[in-house]
Structure 1
């Protein structure tokens, strides 16, 4: 007769037999032990593998249980692994390199009653110093400004990190905070390969382009001379900081093409970038703004591929006048045979030279 399921469970969980108590009555033995049904060893040779959450028999390797609870202590940290010290920190949030101090203080909530409110205010006065409040206010301003023009969070963190470096070194003592924030955002965008022009930062922060340029030069010199200032290594790699030149026209084409909502924005971005790079060799366009060159390249690419946009539509996105775009395009039109590649034209591509307007 084959053993039933209850018999198998009884073999796995030892015990369960009745035992006689001191008063002579028989009571059920509720003490159960986990036994391996294959080895039947008593006491069992069980191994708790907390990494996988399994209970395994050490003799035959049979898995007897899963999803076991790790009951060991939580004294583990990665703070002093390099020094080999034991730092039993088991509570508190992760360290924030953008703030000063350990940030492991206890915060008292704003509860009900006069005593609770007084305790909350007293705790804030002792813990939140003026420097931390100023940093938090600047971080909120950077976040609000960056989100207004869809700057990624990694670039926002880089701008905050640069601002903290300037505060720690007292680089802009007495300078308006708005100008420092504008310079930090500008240089963070350049380092993250998503550059913004001085005009865009000016329209965002209302800080003059001249002031943004001065702040940018001081910041760039500071970051170049203090490559070891980035102790945390979390956001902007200051030790690998590279000086950047003027924002080129090809770097601006990607954002402008996305905002113009072309049918195939990736193709338009590729063609307009190539046109902008080739246009830099034209003598007539020497000294012109990268914004006007990028806008004229997009204007030519849109008409060439049959997904045309007017100069007024492109001017609204690029921030230049439509007359400036047409002037730059008139300098590009005589050299259209040199600028346009053969692969873009039919039959390989969808481009046609006869679609290009004269002006």
Structure 2
């Protein structure tokens, strides 16, 4: 039982001496406002906040003690992966897309009766539904669809979209068709990412002539070089920009795709040896100036016969997109230097020089 003068709402140690005989803090009145149930009169009160209904309810008897209570919890919402039912709490929406113009606010302003609301509604429509934004979205969708058709990774797709945005802002290709600009951006993005794609493949993909792709490529390459020089002028640090040097496609980058389509018994081994042979053939003067397609096709032809899993000229020509006569001519030069370009490790893996067909 509490002693006279003690506050029942404070712990016993706060009202008198402690067990060690030392005086604690002097008594002070408890000014806290405590909501209790008048029917149950329990202390501490057993109250529950029902945020769904906005009520404060006594859990013992069910008496509603307060209405319209404020939910002070964090307003976590899920903006991503709604259809997968994943737990991805977030208090904000997605970040702004740097490939689009404007601030890209996600708040929708309704068309009300007041003049201010109408002005805000028109301003939002101008920023989100203008012709420039629609044209960019259509171009990005076409780039994504075309890149997905030939298995180009998403990083390369984003690089192509970034180049398109840069050219659209600078207006350097004003008057050219959108298809030609898209073809040029995809071609340069593939070269920068070291994903071998030839003019012939981009032509078959976009239906844009090889001559037009070449013209667009030259203009884009010059523009990107100027942009890169402008960013690096007077700075010793590398610019934080995805624009890189555009290197030509070499034969070794094409071997992987060609070998996967030819369905070898051991495609990884054939691909590895073909890449090594392409690197060795780069020093042969007879093959200087020849197309990387013909060099890659002839190297695959030689390695396939060397390892006992041969493929014909026509089969390789169908995959590489060159004539079988071109492959025969390039193979003739390699066959004359077969002793020089053949590695001894290839023979240890089962290769035999006597299996190579004569030139």
With the shorter chain as reference, the TM-score category is 0.5 to 0.7
Partner of 1:148 in structure 2?
A: 149
Larger Rg: 2
For residues 21 and 250 of structure 1, the distance between their equivalents in structure 2, rounded to whole angstroms, comes to: 81
* Coordinate RMSD, CA, aligned: 3.2
1:174 is matched with 175
Q: In the alignment, does 2:341 pair up with 1:339?
A: yes
- Asked whether 1:248 is paired with 2:250, we answer yes
Gaps of 5+ in 2: 1-35, 48-71, 77-89, 111-120, 233-238
Distance, in Å, in 1 between the alignment partners of 2:330 and 2:250 is 15
Q: Which residue of 2 aligns with 1:326?
A: 328
1:31 equivalent in alignment to 2:45: yes
Q: State the shift of 1:304 in Å.
A: 0.8
TM-score by length of 1: 0.68
1:257 lines up with 2:259 in the alignment: yes
CA contact (8 A) 2:101 2:133 kept: yes
The structural deviation recorded for 1:29 is 5.5
CA distance in 2, matches of 1:218, 1:238: 23
Q: Secondary structure at the match of 1:226?
A: helix
Q: Deviations along 1:101-127, whole A, 9 cap, x unmatched?
A: 111143589xxxxxxxxxx99975773
1:175-324 aligned within 5 A: 175-227=176-228, 239=241, 241-324=243-326
Distance 2:253 2:317 in 1: 17
Structure 1 residue 97, shift from structure 2 partner: 0.9
Stretches (4+) displaced over 6 A? 120-123
Deviations 1:25-74 (A, max 9, x none): 766667359xxxxxxxxxxxxxxxxxxxxxxxxxxxxxxxxxxxx93477
Aligned residue number for residue 352 of structure 2? 352
TM-score if structure 2 supplies the norm length? Answer: 0.68
Contact 2:75 2:91 in 1 (8 A): no
Residue segments in structure 1 that go unaligned for 5+ positions in a row? 1-19, 34-69, 75-88, 110-119, 231-236
Task: Specify the SS of the correspondent of 2:337.
Answer: helix
The CA deviation at 1:247 is 1.5
Q: Secondary structure at the match of 2:151?
A: coil
Q: Secondary structure at the match of 2:97?
A: coil
Q: 1:249 to 1:26 in 2, by over 3 A?
A: closer
Q: State the alpha-carbon separation in 1 of the partners of residues 190 and 40 from structure 2.
A: 80
User: 8 Å contact 2:264–2:309 — kept in the other structure?
Assistant: yes
Distance, in Å, in 1 between the alignment partners of 2:287 and 2:37 is 104
Equivalent residue number for residue 103 of structure 2:
102
- How many residues were matched structurally? 271
Compared CA separation, residues 126 and 245, structure 1 to 2 (3 A): closer
